[in-house]
Amino acid sequence: MSLRRPALNLVNQSQVRMPRLWLQSVFVEIDGHLRKAKTPGWAQVCEAELVIVWLNPGPARILNQKYRRKNYATDVLSFTAETGLGELVMCPQVLKRQAREHGLSFRDELSYMILHGILHLLGFDHEGSKSQAAQMFALQDRIFAQLTQR
């Protein structure tokens, strides 16, 4: 019997070419690590769909202003869905800048922020309290370390 995996739907509306096949493979890896870690909520979405939308900075800034009241393009926004896992809206130009700032490759920054967005969709939060932030970042950093050992 095979494990059911969430579906990944990629929508690129940015000017940056995104590595689709690699993104699919990293999503499968993230899924495996979330399962192994028995991440709360992940087992309930094993047949759900995750949509990742890539936007240029202008449209990403507009969404960030509308939903977070922040007037800048951000790296990732997460939107839960009534059915499915939800949607991540990401800005590759911001992610490229952050990768340079963090001393990471663009793909490692993508992995980190996709994982970060998924954790938000599962209900993890780093803005509510220090203890919630510590829990989220500990899980995120542990899984990311496993991802970068590939």
67 in a domain, yes or no? Answer: yes
Residue length, the chain?
150
Q: What does the block give as tokens for 129?
A: 């309290």
Domain total of the chain: 1
CATH number of 15's domain: 3.40.390.30
- What is the distance between the alpha carbons of residues 113 and 133, in angstroms, rounded to a whole number? 15
1 in a domain, yes or no? Answer: no
Give 150's DSSP letter.
-
What average pLDDT does range 8-34 have in this prediction? 94
What average pLDDT does range 108-125 have in this prediction? 95
The three-state secondary structure class of 124 is: coil
- State what percent of residues in the chain have pLDDT above 70: 96
- 51 - beta bridge partners? 9, 87
Instruction: Kindly report, residue by residue over 82-116, the tens digit of the pLDDT.
Output: 877 999 999 999 999 999 999 999 999 999 999 99
pTM: 0.92
56 in a domain, yes or no? Answer: yes
91 in a domain, yes or no? Answer: yes
96 in a domain, yes or no? Answer: yes
Give the per-residue pLDDT at 149: 79
Burial classification of residue 98, based on how many CB atoms lie within 10 Å of its CB (0-12 exposed, 13-18 middle, 19 or more buried): middle
Residue 1: pLDDT band with limits 50, 70, 90: very low
What average pLDDT does range 23-45 have in this prediction? 90
Domain that holds residue 115: 7-147
